[in-house]
């Protein structure tokens, strides 16, 4: 009874609206009431300058920036609901309740022999804000060299100096503005207002082994290597998503409409040799509806690295043989659609702790599944404490080989004992009420993997989940070697003297897993996703046969169609991919608006006079007559 009373009075103490925190399911808020969706939609004849497919991390940015011009009519179609005010989204530590929920597309890879036939769970946000509502909030850009590699891959105009202004534009950095950080953007980037004592032990151990302290992993003036605190997209201890920032700022504009519960089924494309997108078809409450483009409009596909290629293929754009296999008329053969999918593969090393000081010990009440009321109070009133943690906000970047040009390993230190050798499975167990025993975990990511998988259609139904295949350990031995060495690296860190006072038994993989062959078997059987899917519709030069997009993100061979999301990334950067996805949308919106301005201010093309026109017609007739002789 005391806990119930506390929950009832906490919102008042904190000055928070009760209606905004007590929802157990995604909250359908002002977006729908003000702009259609379930409360009524625009007249069928309405035309849109931009139709954005997907209200996720990129889609919300596009909606804000494009609708800032009141003359531009923007429509956003999102399959999920508005969960931006749901407690499971707002409280960082409640991510465990989002996994495999109605806010998650809940994908899995196909069983793979390289992974001993186990499927890998892929969390993808199904809500306004997309995966910015379902990730661990780490704000990582990768290194300067990552974006030089984009240019080398044919993405001209996406080098370090090109993208940095757009990273800064979206950012409100807690340390203020400088060369590498912005302070006036919608997205607050800060440090988690909680620091577990086990994280201090990790820092001491890393320093003991001679690694450098990195105080800003996004400062390109120094190497990425080292250990430190990761910054996160949080404000006052609460998750910051693109829905709660970019979209919230724009939703009351009369020229912007957002429709949730809108599942896109296909693009509407006219022409034979000269293809052009004219609109989209989508399902709403089981009924097919259509949205039409204005004469000079564009469709902006921002459905993410799994669904953007799926929508293209359902629309007849993709590998011909694969489309025809499913009875889909191939409107444009594009071999690269769905190809080149990348992710950061992860494994873990977990230990018991001899002291009860891990994250669960701070969140749960006396080792039970009940929440600690003091921890709840600390978050509701002060926006601080253990509920603000994303669990993995400490770590570092390391090179497992001395000849590596950049760090190939990211370590995320978790002051929590894992309940499964699969990190995502462990989080799901916590979300279902299981209580972890005291301990700590090293999660190891191959942060610059070489493996590439693919997205393919399962069938011709837009409601079927697509196939995700060959995503991990599919190209050579490099990724496997990185993860194997990562396991060894974590063990070396844990053997430092700093851990002597807290180190218990090794739970995963276990002290009997020692040889390279045994570690490799452990990696193959327990590999899991770090939720950084990219590259399935990559941009690049015309000479790249798998580059679906040109450097302006336009689909080659189809006018009035762009892909603006993580699908476009030509090579996955060494760090979490939310920040690069937001940057891509920022830059795309700016390029689009500049293009509109150039078109509006360009001098009119000179028209031929009547005499000139007659002369040209007579000349053409003479040529035709001569050709017929």
Q: pLDDT tens digits for 501-528?
A: 999 999 999 999 999 999 999 999 999 9
Alpha carbons 458 and 461: distance in angstroms, whole number: 8
Q: Going by C-beta distance under 8 Å and a sequence separation of 6 or more, which residues neighbour residue 165?
A: none
> What's residue 8's pLDDT?
41
What CATH number should be reported for the domain whose range is 196-229+345-448+474-526?
3.30.410.40
The better pLDDT of the pair 38, 149 is held by: 149
The better pLDDT of the pair 22, 233 is held by: 233
Mean pLDDT of 241-260: 98
Give the global pTM: 0.91
Alpha carbons 5 and 250: distance in angstroms, whole number: 36
Task: Tell me the two tokens of residue 189.
Answer: 């980037």
Q: What is the mean pLDDT of the chain?
A: 91
Return the exposure string of 599-623: e unless at least 16 CB atoms fall within 10 Å of the residue's CB, then b. Answer: eeeeeeeeeeeeeeeeeeeeeeeee
Q: Going by C-beta distance under 8 Å and a sequence separation of 6 or more, which residues neighbour residue 96?
A: 427, 428, 430, 431
- Gyration radius from the chain CA atoms: 26
- 506 to each of 136, 152, 309, how far by Cα in Å? 25, 43, 42
Do 262 and 77 form a contact (C-beta atoms < 8 A)?
yes
The pLDDT of residue 39 is above 80: no
> What's residue 27's pLDDT?
37
The pLDDT of residue 413 is above 80: yes
Alpha carbons 392 and 120: distance in angstroms, whole number: 20
Task: Tell me the two tokens of residue 21.
Answer: 């925190």
Predicted confidence (pLDDT) per residue in 554-592, tens digit: 999 999 999 999 999 999 999 999 999 999 999 999 999
The alpha carbon torsion through 485, 487, 492, 498 (nearest 10 deg) reads 140
Do 144 and 163 form a contact (C-beta atoms < 8 A)?
no
Mean pLDDT of 406-423: 97
Predicted confidence (pLDDT) per residue in 310-338, tens digit: 999 999 999 999 999 999 999 999 999 99
> What's residue 315's pLDDT?
98
* 3 state DSSP class of 175: coil
Output the furthest CA–CA distance in the chain (Å, rounded).
101
> What's residue 583's pLDDT?
98
Predicted confidence (pLDDT) per residue in 145-200, tens digit: 999 999 999 999 999 999 999 999 999 999 999 999 999 999 999 999 999 999 99
Least confident of 152-166, 360-374, 532-546, 615-629: 615-629
Alpha carbons 237 and 413: distance in angstroms, whole number: 20
- Describe the crossing of helices 478-494 and 197-208 by its angle, rounded to 10 degrees: 100
The pLDDT of residue 12 is above 50: no
Sign of CA dihedral 505, 506, 508, 513: negative
The pLDDT of residue 627 is above 60: no
Mean pLDDT of 382-406: 96
Mean pLDDT of 465-489: 97
Phi, psi of 275 (to 5 degrees): -80, 140
- Within 339-490, strands assigned E span 339-341, 345-353, 394-398, 409-414, 439-446, 453-456, 467-469
**How many CB atoms lie under 10 A from the CB of residue 464?**
12
The pLDDT of residue 33 is above 50: no
Task: Tell me the two tokens of residue 496.
Answer: 């430092």
The residues with which 414 forms a beta bridge, in sequence order, are: 441
Half-sphere exposure of 481 (CA within 13 A, CB side): 11
The better pLDDT of the pair 457, 616 is held by: 457
- 480 to each of 34, 112, 528, 576, 619, how far by Cα in Å? 51, 15, 13, 20, 69
The pLDDT of residue 629 is above 60: no
Q: What confidence tier does 28 reach under pLDDT thresholds 50, 70, 90? A: very low
Alpha carbons 92 and 391: distance in angstroms, whole number: 9
The pLDDT of residue 435 is above 50: yes
Distance of CA 114 to the CA centre of its chain: 25
Distance of CA 42 to the CA centre of its chain: 30
Half-sphere exposure of 162 (CA within 13 A, CB side): 19
* 3 state DSSP class of 591: helix
């Amino acid at each position: 009874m005391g806990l119930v009373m506390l929950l009832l009075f906490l919102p008042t103490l904190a000055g928070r609206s009760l209606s905004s925190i007590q929802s157990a399911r995604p909250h359908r808020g002002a977006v729908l009431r003000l702009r259609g969706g379930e409360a009524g939609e625009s007249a069928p004849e309405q035309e849109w300058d931009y139709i954005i497919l997907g209200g996720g991390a990129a889609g919300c940015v596009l909606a804000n920036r494009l609708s800032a011009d009141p003359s531009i009519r923007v429509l956003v179609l999102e399959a999920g609901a508005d969960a931006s005010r749901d407690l499971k989204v707002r409280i960082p530590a409640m991510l465990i309740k989002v996994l495999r929920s109605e806010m998650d597309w809940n994908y899995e890879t196909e069983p793979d022999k390289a992974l001993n036939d186990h499927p890998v769970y892929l969390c993808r946000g199904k809500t306004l804000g997309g995966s910015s509502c379902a990730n661990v909030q780490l704000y990582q850009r990768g290194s300067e060299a990552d974006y030089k590699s984009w240019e080398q891959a044919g993405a001209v105009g996406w080098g370090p100096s090109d993208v940095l202004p757009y990273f800064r534009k979206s950012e409100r950095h807690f340390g203020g503005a400088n060369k590498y950080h912005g302070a006036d953007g919608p997205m607050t980037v800060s440090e988690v207002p909680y620091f577990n004592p086990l994280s201090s032990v990790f820092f001491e151990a890393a320093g003991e082994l001679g690694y450098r302290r990195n105080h800003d992993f996004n400062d390109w003036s120094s190497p990425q290597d080292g250990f430190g605190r990761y910054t996160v997209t949080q404000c006052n201890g609460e998750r910051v998503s693109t829905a709660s920032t970019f979209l919230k700022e724009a939703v009351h504009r009369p020229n912007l409409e957002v429709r949730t519960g809108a599942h896109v089924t296909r693009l509407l494309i006219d022409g034979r040799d000269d293809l052009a997108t004219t609109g989209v078809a989508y399902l709403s409450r089981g009924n097919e509806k259509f949205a039409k483009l204005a004469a000079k409009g564009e469709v902006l596909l921002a459905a993410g690295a799994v669904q953007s290629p799926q929508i293209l293929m359902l629309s007849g754009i993709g590998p011909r043989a694969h489309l025809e296999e499913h009875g889909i008329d191939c409107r444009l053969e594009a071999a690269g659609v769905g190809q080149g999918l990348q992710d950061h593969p992860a494994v873990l090393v977990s230990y018991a702790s001899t002291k009860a000081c891990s994250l669960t010990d701070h969140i749960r009440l006396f080792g039970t599944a009940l929440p600690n009321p003091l921890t709840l109070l600390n978050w509701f009133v002060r926006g601080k404490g253990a509920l603000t943690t994303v669990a993995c906000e400490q770590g570092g970047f390391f090179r497992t080989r001395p000849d590596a040009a950049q760090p190939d390993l990211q370590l995320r230190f978790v002051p929590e004992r894992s309940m499964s050798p699969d990190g995502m499975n462990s989080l799901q167990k916590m979300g279902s009420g299981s209580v972890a025993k005291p301990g700590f975990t090293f999660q190891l990511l191959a942060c610059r993997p070489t493996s590439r998988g693919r997205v393919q259609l399962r069938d011709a139904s837009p409601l079927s989940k697509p196939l995700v295949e060959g995503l991990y350990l599919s190209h050579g031995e490099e990724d496997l070697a990185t993860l194997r060495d990562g396991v060894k690296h974590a063990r070396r860190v844990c053997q430092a003297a700093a851990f002597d006072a807290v180190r218990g038994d090794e739970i995963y993989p276990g002290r009997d897993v020692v040889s390279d062959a045994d570690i490799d078997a452990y990696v193959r059987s327990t590999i899991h996703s770090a939720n950084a899917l990219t590259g399935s519709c990559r941009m690049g030069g015309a000479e790249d046969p798998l580059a679906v997009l040109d450097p302006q993100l336009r689909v080659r061979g189809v006018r009035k169609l762009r892909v603006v999301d993580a699908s476009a990334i030509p090579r996955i950067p060494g760090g979490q991919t939310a920040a690069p996805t937001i940057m891509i949308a920022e830059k795309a919106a700016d390029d689009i608006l500049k293009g509109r301005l150039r078109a509006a201010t360009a001098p009119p093309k000179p028209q031929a006079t009547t005499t000139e026109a007659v002369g040209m017609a007579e000349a053409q007739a003479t040529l035709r007559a001569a050709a017929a002789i």
